Amino acid sequence: SQQGEEDPQALSIQEGENATMNCSYKTSINNLQWYRQNSGRGLVHLILIRSNEREKHSGRLRVTLDTSKKSSSLLITASRAADTASYFCATDEEDSNYQLIWGAGTKLIIKP
């Protein structure tokens, strides 16, 4: 079953602007992870935030986690054409038995 739900499904912005994607989930988690998938390729792990963390940074990426609302956001600052990709959140549920649960993804297009 799909736990993570990304919002929006698609996002198109100008190069240089910031892009924000959101992920909601349903149950208690150990951590939440964000991945990027370029067209036709495998997924690449971007960043992981643990359930006891509220915010995490990695380069131009900023992730927040609100466990009370069961939601997370991924912010990409100063977007570049190379950021064009689909972005997925995945949750490690507390009782997941070694399974990540994936959302359907946000398709991000950066216009030059």
* Angle 9-57-69 from CA coordinates, rounded to 5°: 55
Q: Which amino acid is at 104?
A: A
* Angle 8-98-100 from CA coordinates, rounded to 5°: 10
For residue 109, state whether it binds another protein (rule: CB under 8 A). Answer: no
Nearer to another protein, 78 or 104 (CB): 104
In the complex, the smallest distance separating the C-beta of residue 72 from another protein, rounded to whole angstroms, is 15
For residue 7, state whether it binds another protein (rule: CB under 8 A). Answer: no
Show contacts with another protein in window 58-97 (CB under 8 A): 88, 90, 92, 96-97
